[in-house]
A and B are shown apart, each in its own frame.
Chain A
Protein backbone atom coordinates (compact mmCIF):
# COMPACT_ATOMS: atom_id res chain seq x y z
CA UNK A 1 0.00 0.00 0.00
CA UNK A 2 2.79 2.43 0.94
CA UNK A 3 6.13 2.12 -0.75
CA UNK A 4 9.03 4.47 -0.07
CA UNK A 5 12.29 4.02 -1.95
CA UNK A 6 15.58 5.87 -1.58
CA UNK A 7 14.15 8.95 0.08
CA UNK A 8 16.75 11.66 0.67
CA UNK A 9 16.50 15.07 2.25
CA UNK A 10 19.26 17.38 3.40
CA UNK A 11 18.86 20.66 5.30
CA UNK A 12 22.20 22.39 4.85
CA UNK A 13 24.74 20.19 6.60
CA UNK A 14 22.08 18.07 8.28
CA UNK A 15 21.06 14.88 6.52
CA UNK A 16 17.47 14.22 7.60
CA UNK A 17 16.77 11.31 5.24
CA UNK A 18 19.57 9.25 3.74
CA UNK A 19 18.01 6.65 1.49
CA UNK A 20 14.97 5.91 3.65
CA UNK A 21 13.11 2.83 2.42
CA UNK A 22 9.90 1.32 3.75
CA UNK A 23 7.11 -0.87 2.42
CA UNK A 24 3.85 -1.22 4.31
CA UNK A 25 1.21 -3.69 3.19
CA UNK A 26 -2.57 -3.47 3.34
CA UNK A 27 -3.70 -3.89 6.94
CA UNK A 28 -0.13 -3.98 8.21
CA UNK A 29 1.00 -2.00 11.24
CA UNK A 30 4.66 -1.05 11.12
CA UNK A 31 6.26 0.10 14.33
CA UNK A 32 8.78 2.71 13.28
CA UNK A 33 11.32 3.18 16.03
CA UNK A 34 14.53 5.13 16.30
CA UNK A 35 16.15 7.75 18.47
CA UNK A 36 15.24 11.43 18.12
CA UNK A 37 16.61 12.77 14.85
CA UNK A 38 16.60 9.37 13.15
CA UNK A 39 14.35 10.72 10.40
CA UNK A 40 10.95 9.39 11.50
CA UNK A 41 9.12 12.72 11.51
CA UNK A 42 10.77 13.88 8.28
CA UNK A 43 9.67 10.62 6.67
CA UNK A 44 6.05 11.20 7.77
CA UNK A 45 6.11 14.79 6.45
CA UNK A 46 7.56 13.56 3.16
CA UNK A 47 4.75 11.03 2.68
CA UNK A 48 2.27 13.84 3.34
CA UNK A 49 4.10 15.82 0.60
CA UNK A 50 4.75 18.70 2.97
CA UNK A 51 8.13 19.35 1.37
CA UNK A 52 10.10 18.37 -1.69
CA UNK A 53 12.54 15.50 -1.07
CA UNK A 54 15.96 15.76 -2.76
CA UNK A 55 15.58 12.25 -4.17
CA UNK A 56 13.53 9.09 -3.85
CA UNK A 57 10.06 7.90 -4.62
CA UNK A 58 6.88 7.58 -2.58
CA UNK A 59 3.96 5.52 -3.83
CA UNK A 60 0.57 4.93 -2.28
CA UNK A 61 -1.31 2.05 -3.84
CA UNK A 62 1.03 2.29 -6.83
CA UNK A 63 0.42 5.97 -7.42
CA UNK A 64 3.38 8.28 -7.05
CA UNK A 65 3.20 11.06 -4.48
CA UNK A 66 5.00 14.29 -5.26
CA UNK A 67 4.94 17.77 -3.84
CA UNK A 68 2.72 18.82 -6.73
CA UNK A 69 0.65 15.64 -6.92
CA UNK A 70 -0.45 14.76 -3.42
CA UNK A 71 -2.85 12.00 -2.43
CA UNK A 72 -4.37 13.56 0.66
CA UNK A 73 -7.57 11.52 0.66
CA UNK A 74 -5.52 8.34 1.00
CA UNK A 75 -3.52 9.65 3.93
CA UNK A 76 -4.18 10.38 7.59
CA UNK A 77 -1.47 12.24 9.45
CA UNK A 78 -1.25 12.81 13.18
CA UNK A 79 1.97 14.78 13.62
CA UNK A 80 4.10 14.43 16.70
CA UNK A 81 3.01 17.72 18.21
CA UNK A 82 -0.63 18.13 19.19
CA UNK A 83 -2.38 19.91 16.33
CA UNK A 84 -5.65 21.24 17.73
CA UNK A 85 -7.53 24.48 17.30
CA UNK A 86 -8.79 26.43 20.32
CA UNK A 87 -12.40 25.47 19.60
CA UNK A 88 -14.54 22.62 20.85
CA UNK A 89 -13.55 19.00 20.29
CA UNK A 90 -16.49 18.59 17.92
CA UNK A 91 -15.53 21.66 15.90
CA UNK A 92 -11.98 20.31 15.53
CA UNK A 93 -13.37 17.10 14.07
CA UNK A 94 -15.92 18.92 11.93
CA UNK A 95 -13.21 21.05 10.36
CA UNK A 96 -11.01 18.02 9.71
CA UNK A 97 -13.91 16.19 8.08
CA UNK A 98 -14.99 19.15 5.96
CA UNK A 99 -11.47 19.58 4.59
CA UNK A 100 -11.72 15.99 3.36
CA UNK A 101 -15.08 16.69 1.75
CA UNK A 102 -17.27 14.67 4.13
CA UNK A 103 -20.92 15.69 3.73
CA UNK A 104 -23.00 16.81 6.68
CA UNK A 105 -24.65 13.47 7.46
CA UNK A 106 -21.59 11.33 6.84
CA UNK A 107 -19.48 13.72 8.88
CA UNK A 108 -21.86 13.51 11.84
CA UNK A 109 -21.81 9.71 11.63
CA UNK A 110 -18.03 9.54 11.44
CA UNK A 111 -17.60 11.94 14.35
CA UNK A 112 -19.87 9.81 16.52
CA UNK A 113 -18.06 6.68 15.40
CA UNK A 114 -14.53 7.86 15.99
CA UNK A 115 -15.50 9.63 19.22
CA UNK A 116 -16.98 6.42 20.57
CA UNK A 117 -13.92 4.40 19.56
CA UNK A 118 -11.61 6.83 21.33
CA UNK A 119 -13.78 7.58 24.36
CA UNK A 120 -14.50 11.16 23.30
CA UNK A 121 -18.29 11.12 23.02
CA UNK A 122 -18.94 13.02 26.25
CA UNK A 123 -16.12 15.42 25.50
CA UNK A 124 -17.26 16.59 22.07
CA UNK A 125 -18.98 19.81 23.27
CA UNK A 126 -16.02 20.81 25.45
CA UNK A 127 -13.38 23.36 24.47
CA UNK A 128 -10.02 21.79 23.72
CA UNK A 129 -8.27 23.76 26.47
CA UNK A 130 -10.54 22.07 29.03
CA UNK A 131 -9.48 18.58 27.93
CA UNK A 132 -6.69 16.70 29.68
CA UNK A 133 -3.47 15.93 27.85
CA UNK A 134 -4.58 12.36 27.19
CA UNK A 135 -7.97 13.47 25.89
CA UNK A 136 -6.28 15.95 23.57
CA UNK A 137 -4.02 13.14 22.33
CA UNK A 138 -7.08 11.06 21.46
CA UNK A 139 -8.77 13.98 19.71
CA UNK A 140 -5.56 14.63 17.76
CA UNK A 141 -5.52 11.02 16.54
CA UNK A 142 -9.27 11.03 15.87
CA UNK A 143 -8.87 13.93 13.44
CA UNK A 144 -6.43 11.82 11.41
CA UNK A 145 -8.72 8.77 11.37
CA UNK A 146 -11.99 10.52 10.60
CA UNK A 147 -11.87 10.23 6.81
CA UNK A 148 -10.79 6.57 6.96
CA UNK A 149 -7.47 6.93 5.18
CA UNK A 150 -5.82 3.95 3.52
CA UNK A 151 -2.46 4.97 4.97
CA UNK A 152 -2.30 6.25 8.53
CA UNK A 153 0.82 7.93 9.88
CA UNK A 154 0.83 8.29 13.64
CA UNK A 155 3.92 10.07 14.91
CA UNK A 156 4.37 9.18 18.58
CA UNK A 157 0.62 9.24 19.27
CA UNK A 158 0.89 8.12 22.88
CA UNK A 159 3.72 10.30 24.08
CA UNK A 160 2.84 11.40 27.60
CA UNK A 161 -0.49 9.56 27.41
CA UNK A 162 -2.21 7.95 30.39
CA UNK A 163 -2.92 4.19 30.34
CA UNK A 164 -6.58 4.68 29.33
CA UNK A 165 -5.61 6.84 26.37
CA UNK A 166 -2.92 4.37 25.38
CA UNK A 167 -5.32 1.45 25.48
CA UNK A 168 -8.04 3.26 23.51
CA UNK A 169 -5.59 4.49 20.88
CA UNK A 170 -3.97 1.11 20.40
CA UNK A 171 -7.37 -0.52 20.08
CA UNK A 172 -8.51 2.04 17.51
CA UNK A 173 -5.31 1.55 15.50
CA UNK A 174 -5.80 -2.22 15.51
CA UNK A 175 -9.38 -1.81 14.28
CA UNK A 176 -8.25 0.46 11.45
CA UNK A 177 -5.60 -2.07 10.42
CA UNK A 178 -8.20 -4.85 10.48
CA UNK A 179 -10.25 -2.76 8.08
CA UNK A 180 -7.26 -2.64 5.70
CA UNK A 181 -5.49 0.58 6.61
CA UNK A 182 -1.70 0.50 6.36
CA UNK A 183 -0.38 2.05 9.56
CA UNK A 184 3.02 3.52 10.31
CA UNK A 185 3.19 3.86 14.05
CA UNK A 186 6.15 5.83 15.33
CA UNK A 187 6.93 5.27 18.98
CA UNK A 188 9.54 5.09 21.69
CA UNK A 189 7.34 2.75 23.78
CA UNK A 190 8.33 -0.58 22.30
CA UNK A 191 5.89 -2.77 24.30
CA UNK A 192 3.09 -1.03 22.36
CA UNK A 193 4.30 -2.81 19.25
CA UNK A 194 3.61 -6.17 20.91
CA UNK A 195 0.07 -5.03 21.69
CA UNK A 196 -0.38 -3.90 18.08
CA UNK A 197 1.24 -7.06 16.73
CA UNK A 198 3.25 -4.73 14.54
CA UNK A 199 6.13 -5.51 12.27
CA UNK A 200 9.22 -3.49 13.00
CA UNK A 201 11.30 -0.90 11.21
CA UNK A 202 14.27 0.62 12.98
CA UNK A 203 15.42 4.00 11.69
CA UNK A 204 18.80 5.53 12.31
CA UNK A 205 20.63 8.43 10.67
CA UNK A 206 17.87 8.91 8.12
CA UNK A 207 17.47 5.35 6.93
CA UNK A 208 15.87 2.08 7.96
CA UNK A 209 18.57 -0.24 9.34
CA UNK A 210 16.33 -3.20 10.19
CA UNK A 211 12.94 -4.26 8.90
CA UNK A 212 10.87 -7.37 9.45
CA UNK A 213 8.63 -9.31 11.79
CA UNK A 214 9.44 -8.81 15.45
CA UNK A 215 9.91 -12.54 16.02
CA UNK A 216 12.38 -12.85 13.13
CA UNK A 217 14.44 -9.92 14.28
CA UNK A 218 14.38 -11.07 17.88
CA UNK A 219 15.39 -14.60 16.89
CA UNK A 220 18.73 -13.24 15.74
CA UNK A 221 19.41 -11.82 19.18
CA UNK A 222 20.91 -13.86 22.02
CA UNK A 223 18.75 -14.59 25.06
CA UNK A 224 19.88 -15.21 28.62
CA UNK A 225 19.43 -18.10 31.03
CA UNK A 226 20.37 -17.97 34.70
CA UNK A 227 20.97 -21.28 36.50
CA UNK A 228 21.15 -21.16 40.28
CA UNK A 229 22.85 -24.06 42.05
CA UNK A 230 22.92 -24.98 45.73
CA UNK A 231 26.68 -25.15 45.28
CA UNK A 232 28.20 -24.08 42.00
CA UNK A 233 31.79 -24.91 42.88
CA UNK A 234 33.60 -27.08 40.36
CA UNK A 235 31.31 -26.49 37.42
CA UNK A 236 32.89 -27.39 34.09
CA UNK A 237 31.98 -25.40 31.00
CA UNK A 238 31.73 -27.34 27.76
CA UNK A 239 33.97 -26.12 24.98
CA UNK A 240 31.17 -24.89 22.74
CA UNK A 241 30.04 -22.37 25.37
CA UNK A 242 32.30 -19.46 24.70
CA UNK A 243 33.87 -17.88 27.74
CA UNK A 244 32.49 -14.43 26.97
CA UNK A 245 28.95 -15.85 26.81
CA UNK A 246 29.12 -17.48 30.20
CA UNK A 247 29.43 -15.75 33.53
CA UNK A 248 29.63 -17.44 36.93
CA UNK A 249 28.51 -15.27 39.82
CA UNK A 250 28.72 -17.22 43.10
CA UNK A 251 26.21 -20.04 42.76
CA UNK A 252 24.59 -18.41 39.71
CA UNK A 253 25.65 -19.14 36.15
CA UNK A 254 24.44 -16.73 33.46
CA UNK A 255 24.66 -17.95 29.86
CA UNK A 256 24.01 -15.64 26.92
CA UNK A 257 23.26 -17.54 23.71
CA UNK A 258 21.05 -17.57 20.63
CA UNK A 259 19.41 -20.70 22.04
CA UNK A 260 19.82 -20.30 25.80
CA UNK A 261 17.75 -23.41 26.66
CA UNK A 262 20.03 -25.64 24.58
CA UNK A 263 23.08 -24.01 26.12
CA UNK A 264 21.71 -24.68 29.62
CA UNK A 265 21.04 -28.32 28.69
CA UNK A 266 24.63 -28.68 27.47
CA UNK A 267 25.98 -27.20 30.70
CA UNK A 268 23.94 -29.62 32.79
CA UNK A 269 24.95 -32.54 30.57
CA UNK A 270 28.59 -31.63 31.10
CA UNK A 271 28.04 -31.45 34.88
CA UNK A 272 25.74 -34.37 35.82
CA UNK A 273 26.86 -34.25 39.45
CA UNK A 274 25.59 -30.63 39.69
CA UNK A 275 22.20 -31.37 38.17
CA UNK A 276 20.81 -32.52 41.51
CA UNK A 277 21.98 -29.26 43.06
CA UNK A 278 20.14 -27.11 40.56
CA UNK A 279 17.68 -24.87 42.40
CA UNK A 280 16.20 -22.78 39.62
CA UNK A 281 16.41 -21.84 35.96
CA UNK A 282 15.34 -18.38 34.78
CA UNK A 283 15.05 -17.58 31.08
CA UNK A 284 15.23 -14.00 29.80
CA UNK A 285 14.05 -13.74 26.20
CA UNK A 286 15.43 -10.73 24.33
CA UNK A 287 13.02 -7.82 24.32
CA UNK A 288 12.37 -5.21 21.67
CA UNK A 289 14.38 -2.84 23.83
CA UNK A 290 17.35 -5.23 23.61
CA UNK A 291 16.90 -5.47 19.85
CA UNK A 292 16.70 -1.72 19.46
CA UNK A 293 19.84 -1.16 21.53
CA UNK A 294 21.71 -3.91 19.72
CA UNK A 295 20.81 -2.51 16.28
CA UNK A 296 21.81 1.01 17.21
CA UNK A 297 25.06 -0.23 18.75
CA UNK A 298 25.86 -2.14 15.58
CA UNK A 299 25.07 0.96 13.54
CA UNK A 300 27.40 3.04 15.70
CA UNK A 301 24.68 5.27 17.16
Chain B
Protein backbone atom coordinates (compact mmCIF):
# COMPACT_ATOMS: atom_id res chain seq x y z
CA UNK B 1 0.00 0.00 0.00
CA UNK B 2 2.83 2.34 0.96
CA UNK B 3 4.57 1.52 -2.31
CA UNK B 4 1.41 2.24 -4.30
CA UNK B 5 1.03 5.56 -2.52
CA UNK B 6 4.62 6.41 -3.37
CA UNK B 7 3.83 5.58 -7.00
CA UNK B 8 0.84 7.91 -6.97
CA UNK B 9 3.02 10.64 -5.47
CA UNK B 10 5.64 10.18 -8.18
CA UNK B 11 2.94 10.23 -10.86
CA UNK B 12 1.63 13.46 -9.30
CA UNK B 13 5.15 14.90 -9.23
CA UNK B 14 5.65 14.18 -12.94
CA UNK B 15 2.18 15.52 -13.81
CA UNK B 16 2.74 18.68 -11.78
CA UNK B 17 6.09 19.20 -13.46
CA UNK B 18 4.51 18.68 -16.88
CA UNK B 19 2.02 21.42 -15.99
CA UNK B 20 4.90 23.72 -15.08
CA UNK B 21 6.56 22.99 -18.44
CA UNK B 22 3.31 23.60 -20.33
CA UNK B 23 2.67 26.83 -18.43
CA UNK B 24 6.17 27.97 -19.32
CA UNK B 25 5.37 27.75 -23.02
CA UNK B 26 1.63 28.37 -23.37
CA UNK B 27 1.71 29.84 -26.90
CA UNK B 28 1.03 26.65 -28.88
CA UNK B 29 -1.67 25.56 -26.45
CA UNK B 30 -3.50 28.87 -26.70
CA UNK B 31 -3.15 28.84 -30.49
CA UNK B 32 -4.46 25.27 -30.75
CA UNK B 33 -7.46 26.28 -28.65
CA UNK B 34 -8.37 29.60 -30.26
CA UNK B 35 -7.59 28.97 -33.93
CA UNK B 36 -10.06 26.07 -34.31
CA UNK B 37 -12.84 28.36 -33.11
CA UNK B 38 -11.83 30.99 -35.64
CA UNK B 39 -11.63 28.40 -38.42
CA UNK B 40 -15.00 26.90 -37.53
CA UNK B 41 -16.46 30.39 -37.96
CA UNK B 42 -14.71 30.74 -41.34
CA UNK B 43 -15.48 27.34 -42.89
CA UNK B 44 -18.95 26.77 -41.41
CA UNK B 45 -20.84 28.67 -44.15
CA UNK B 46 -19.05 26.58 -46.79
CA UNK B 47 -19.80 23.35 -44.92
CA UNK B 48 -23.46 24.32 -44.59
CA UNK B 49 -23.63 24.83 -48.36
CA UNK B 50 -21.83 21.54 -49.05
CA UNK B 51 -24.14 19.68 -46.69
CA UNK B 52 -27.11 21.08 -48.60
CA UNK B 53 -25.66 20.00 -51.99
CA UNK B 54 -24.24 16.60 -50.86
CA UNK B 55 -26.04 15.44 -47.73
CA UNK B 56 -23.28 13.05 -46.63
CA UNK B 57 -24.52 11.09 -43.67
CA UNK B 58 -26.92 13.55 -42.21
CA UNK B 59 -24.16 15.67 -40.67
CA UNK B 60 -25.06 19.32 -40.89
CA UNK B 61 -22.50 21.96 -41.80
CA UNK B 62 -21.94 23.18 -38.25
CA UNK B 63 -21.36 19.67 -36.94
CA UNK B 64 -19.02 18.85 -39.84
CA UNK B 65 -16.98 22.06 -39.36
CA UNK B 66 -16.73 21.64 -35.60
CA UNK B 67 -15.86 17.94 -35.64
CA UNK B 68 -13.35 18.54 -38.45
CA UNK B 69 -11.51 21.26 -36.55
CA UNK B 70 -11.62 19.24 -33.31
CA UNK B 71 -9.93 16.33 -35.05
CA UNK B 72 -7.48 18.46 -37.04
CA UNK B 73 -6.19 20.49 -34.12
CA UNK B 74 -5.91 17.54 -31.78
CA UNK B 75 -3.70 15.95 -34.43
CA UNK B 76 -1.50 19.04 -34.26
CA UNK B 77 -1.30 18.57 -30.49
CA UNK B 78 -0.04 15.03 -31.14
CA UNK B 79 3.25 16.63 -32.14
CA UNK B 80 3.42 18.47 -28.82
CA UNK B 81 2.88 15.20 -26.95
CA UNK B 82 5.78 13.62 -28.83
CA UNK B 83 7.97 16.71 -28.46
CA UNK B 84 7.53 16.66 -24.68
CA UNK B 85 9.14 13.23 -24.51
CA UNK B 86 11.67 13.83 -27.27
CA UNK B 87 12.97 17.03 -25.64
CA UNK B 88 13.77 15.07 -22.49
CA UNK B 89 15.87 12.66 -24.53
CA UNK B 90 17.58 14.91 -27.04
CA UNK B 91 17.34 18.57 -25.99
CA UNK B 92 17.32 18.71 -22.21
CA UNK B 93 19.06 15.33 -21.71
CA UNK B 94 16.93 14.81 -18.59
CA UNK B 95 15.60 11.37 -19.55
CA UNK B 96 18.43 9.37 -17.96
CA UNK B 97 18.18 11.36 -14.76
CA UNK B 98 14.43 10.88 -14.47
CA UNK B 99 14.72 7.19 -15.42
CA UNK B 100 17.42 6.74 -12.77
CA UNK B 101 15.00 8.09 -10.14
CA UNK B 102 12.50 5.88 -8.32
CA UNK B 103 9.80 6.81 -10.86
CA UNK B 104 8.79 3.83 -13.01
CA UNK B 105 8.40 4.20 -16.74
CA UNK B 106 4.60 3.92 -16.49
CA UNK B 107 4.47 6.63 -13.81
CA UNK B 108 6.58 8.94 -15.95
CA UNK B 109 4.58 8.39 -19.14
CA UNK B 110 1.22 8.66 -17.38
CA UNK B 111 2.37 11.71 -15.43
CA UNK B 112 3.44 13.44 -18.62
CA UNK B 113 0.29 12.41 -20.47
CA UNK B 114 -2.24 13.46 -17.83
CA UNK B 115 -1.93 17.25 -18.24
CA UNK B 116 -1.87 16.86 -22.02
CA UNK B 117 -5.04 14.79 -21.79
CA UNK B 118 -6.65 17.49 -19.68
CA UNK B 119 -5.64 20.09 -22.25
CA UNK B 120 -6.99 18.05 -25.18
CA UNK B 121 -10.25 17.45 -23.35
CA UNK B 122 -10.63 21.15 -22.60
CA UNK B 123 -9.70 22.01 -26.20
CA UNK B 124 -12.41 19.70 -27.57
CA UNK B 125 -15.05 20.78 -25.09
CA UNK B 126 -14.37 24.49 -25.57
CA UNK B 127 -14.69 24.06 -29.32
CA UNK B 128 -17.99 22.20 -29.09
CA UNK B 129 -19.16 24.66 -26.43
CA UNK B 130 -18.28 27.52 -28.77
CA UNK B 131 -20.22 25.98 -31.66
CA UNK B 132 -23.17 25.29 -29.39
CA UNK B 133 -23.19 28.82 -28.01
CA UNK B 134 -22.51 30.73 -31.22
CA UNK B 135 -23.94 28.52 -33.98
CA UNK B 136 -26.56 26.56 -32.07
CA UNK B 137 -24.92 23.15 -32.46
CA UNK B 138 -27.14 20.53 -30.81
CA UNK B 139 -26.25 16.82 -30.78
CA UNK B 140 -29.14 14.54 -31.73
CA UNK B 141 -28.87 12.40 -28.59
CA UNK B 142 -27.55 14.90 -26.05
CA UNK B 143 -23.99 15.78 -25.10
CA UNK B 144 -22.94 12.49 -23.46
CA UNK B 145 -21.88 10.76 -26.70
CA UNK B 146 -19.86 13.86 -27.65
CA UNK B 147 -18.22 13.87 -24.23
CA UNK B 148 -17.39 10.18 -24.65
CA UNK B 149 -15.63 10.83 -27.97
CA UNK B 150 -13.93 13.90 -26.47
CA UNK B 151 -12.37 11.57 -23.89
CA UNK B 152 -11.59 8.65 -26.21
CA UNK B 153 -10.04 10.60 -29.07
CA UNK B 154 -7.51 12.51 -26.86
CA UNK B 155 -6.50 9.19 -25.28
CA UNK B 156 -5.83 7.82 -28.74
CA UNK B 157 -3.86 10.96 -29.68
CA UNK B 158 -1.74 10.63 -26.53
CA UNK B 159 -0.98 6.99 -27.23
CA UNK B 160 -0.03 7.76 -30.82
CA UNK B 161 2.10 10.73 -29.75
CA UNK B 162 3.93 8.61 -27.19
CA UNK B 163 4.59 5.97 -29.82
CA UNK B 164 5.75 8.54 -32.37
CA UNK B 165 8.19 10.11 -29.90
CA UNK B 166 9.96 6.79 -29.39
CA UNK B 167 10.20 6.03 -33.09
CA UNK B 168 11.81 9.31 -34.21
CA UNK B 169 15.25 10.50 -33.19
CA UNK B 170 15.18 14.27 -33.61
CA UNK B 171 12.80 17.19 -33.19
CA UNK B 172 13.11 17.90 -36.92
CA UNK B 173 11.97 14.36 -37.73
CA UNK B 174 9.08 14.65 -35.29
CA UNK B 175 8.10 18.02 -36.68
CA UNK B 176 8.11 16.74 -40.25
CA UNK B 177 6.30 13.50 -39.43
CA UNK B 178 3.84 15.29 -37.12
CA UNK B 179 2.92 18.09 -39.52
CA UNK B 180 2.69 15.91 -42.61
CA UNK B 181 0.74 13.15 -40.94
CA UNK B 182 -1.60 15.68 -39.29
CA UNK B 183 -2.41 17.37 -42.60
CA UNK B 184 -2.70 14.12 -44.59
CA UNK B 185 -4.78 12.48 -41.90
CA UNK B 186 -7.00 15.55 -41.59
CA UNK B 187 -7.74 15.53 -45.31
CA UNK B 188 -8.19 11.75 -45.61
CA UNK B 189 -10.35 11.70 -42.52
CA UNK B 190 -12.79 14.08 -44.13
CA UNK B 191 -12.14 16.63 -41.41
CA UNK B 192 -11.34 19.47 -43.79
CA UNK B 193 -13.64 18.49 -46.64
CA UNK B 194 -16.53 16.02 -46.20
CA UNK B 195 -15.50 12.47 -47.14
CA UNK B 196 -18.15 12.37 -49.85
CA UNK B 197 -16.35 15.16 -51.71
CA UNK B 198 -12.95 13.43 -51.70
CA UNK B 199 -11.53 11.51 -54.67
CA UNK B 200 -12.47 7.85 -54.64
CA UNK B 201 -8.97 6.50 -53.85
CA UNK B 202 -8.70 8.86 -50.90
CA UNK B 203 -12.09 7.77 -49.59
CA UNK B 204 -10.87 4.18 -49.66
CA UNK B 205 -7.64 5.01 -47.81
CA UNK B 206 -9.37 7.18 -45.22
CA UNK B 207 -10.22 4.31 -42.85
CA UNK B 208 -6.47 3.59 -42.51
CA UNK B 209 -6.11 6.81 -40.50
CA UNK B 210 -7.17 7.31 -36.88
CA UNK B 211 -8.59 10.71 -37.79
CA UNK B 212 -11.18 9.06 -40.05
CA UNK B 213 -12.49 7.07 -37.11
CA UNK B 214 -12.46 10.11 -34.85
CA UNK B 215 -14.55 11.96 -37.44
CA UNK B 216 -16.83 8.96 -37.71
CA UNK B 217 -17.23 8.85 -33.94
CA UNK B 218 -17.97 12.57 -33.72
CA UNK B 219 -20.48 12.35 -36.57
CA UNK B 220 -22.21 9.47 -34.82
CA UNK B 221 -22.24 11.37 -31.55
CA UNK B 222 -23.59 14.53 -33.18
CA UNK B 223 -26.13 13.08 -35.63
CA UNK B 224 -26.92 9.68 -34.21
CA UNK B 225 -26.30 8.37 -37.72
CA UNK B 226 -22.99 7.35 -39.29
CA UNK B 227 -21.78 4.51 -41.49
CA UNK B 228 -19.89 2.70 -38.76
CA UNK B 229 -21.67 3.73 -35.58
CA UNK B 230 -20.21 5.11 -32.40
CA UNK B 231 -19.16 1.83 -30.80
CA UNK B 232 -17.28 0.55 -33.83
CA UNK B 233 -15.52 3.88 -34.30
CA UNK B 234 -14.44 3.97 -30.66
CA UNK B 235 -13.24 0.37 -30.85
CA UNK B 236 -11.07 1.16 -33.88
CA UNK B 237 -9.66 4.23 -32.08
CA UNK B 238 -8.79 1.97 -29.15
CA UNK B 239 -6.98 -0.29 -31.61
CA UNK B 240 -4.94 2.64 -32.94
CA UNK B 241 -4.13 3.65 -29.36
CA UNK B 242 -2.93 0.15 -28.50
CA UNK B 243 -0.82 0.07 -31.65
CA UNK B 244 0.78 3.38 -30.64
CA UNK B 245 1.50 2.14 -27.14
CA UNK B 246 2.86 -1.16 -28.47
CA UNK B 247 5.21 0.73 -30.80
CA UNK B 248 6.33 2.87 -27.88
CA UNK B 249 6.89 -0.14 -25.64
CA UNK B 250 8.84 -1.94 -28.38
CA UNK B 251 11.05 1.09 -29.01
CA UNK B 252 11.47 1.63 -25.26
CA UNK B 253 12.59 -1.98 -24.73
CA UNK B 254 14.98 -1.70 -27.64
CA UNK B 255 16.46 1.51 -26.18
CA UNK B 256 17.07 -0.09 -22.78
CA UNK B 257 18.98 -3.08 -24.16
Contacts and interface: CB of A to CB of B under 8 A. Distances in A.
A87 B16 CA distance: 13
29 contacts: A45-B96, A50-B99, A50-B256, A51-B256, A52-B256, A52-B257, A70-B102, A72-B100, A72-B101, A73-B102, A75-B100, A77-B97, A79-B93, A83-B92, A83-B93, A83-B96, A83-B97, A84-B92, A85-B17, A85-B21, A85-B92, A85-B94, A91-B20, A98-B13, A98-B17, A99-B10, A99-B101, A101-B10, A101-B102
B102 A99 contact: yes
Interface in A46-68: 48-52, 67
Given A79-B96, A85-B92, A144-B97, 8 more contacts: A48-B99, A70-B100, A72-B101, A81-B93, A83-B92, A83-B93, A86-B25, A143-B97
A50 B16 CA distance: 24
A87 B20 contact: yes
Contacts of A144: 97
A72 B102 contact: yes
Question: How extensive is the interface on chain B, given as a class?
Answer: 20 to 34
Nearest to A84: B92
Contacts of B17: 85, 87, 91, 95, 98
Residue of A84, A98, A100 contacting most chain B CB atoms (<10 Å)? A98
Nearest to A143: B97
Interface in B88-118: 92-94, 96-103
Nearest to A95: B17
Question: Chain A interface mostly helix, strand, loop or mixed?
Answer: loop
B82 to A, nearest CB: 17
Interface in B201-228: none
B9 interface: yes
A175 interface: no
A86 B18 CA distance: 11
B249 to A, nearest CB: 15
Interface string A116-145: 000000000000000000000000000110
A248 interface: no
A123 B239 CA distance: 48
B200 interface: no
A220 interface: no
B7 to A, nearest CB: 10
A96 interface: yes
B6 interface: yes
B15 to A, nearest CB: 11
A82 interface: yes
A101 B9 contact: yes
B26 interface: no
Contacts of A51: 256-257
A85 B93 CA distance: 9
Interface in B1-56: 6, 9-10, 13-14, 16-17, 20-21, 24-25
A84 B94 contact: yes
Contacts of B102: 70, 72-73, 99-101
A17 B100 CA distance: 20
A168 B99 CA distance: 27
Interface string A77-114: 11101111111000100011011110000000000000
Nearest to B10: A99
A83 B98 CA distance: 9
Contacts of B16: 98
Contacts of B13: 95, 98-99
A106 to B, nearest CB: 13
Nearest to A103: B9
Contacts of A81: 93
A259 to B, nearest CB: 46
Nearest to A99: B101
A48 B24 CA distance: 30
B170 to A, nearest CB: 16
B96 A50 contact: yes
A144 B101 CA distance: 10
Contacts of A49: 100
Contacts of A79: 93, 96-97
Contact of B101 (A52, A78, A86, A96): A96
A87 B17 CA distance: 9
A72 B103 CA distance: 9
A280 B21 CA distance: 65
Nearest to B12: A98
A87 B21 contact: yes
A99 B256 CA distance: 20
Given A99-B101, A100-B102, A48 B93 contact: no
A72 B14 CA distance: 16
Contacts of B98: 99
Interface in A214-268: none
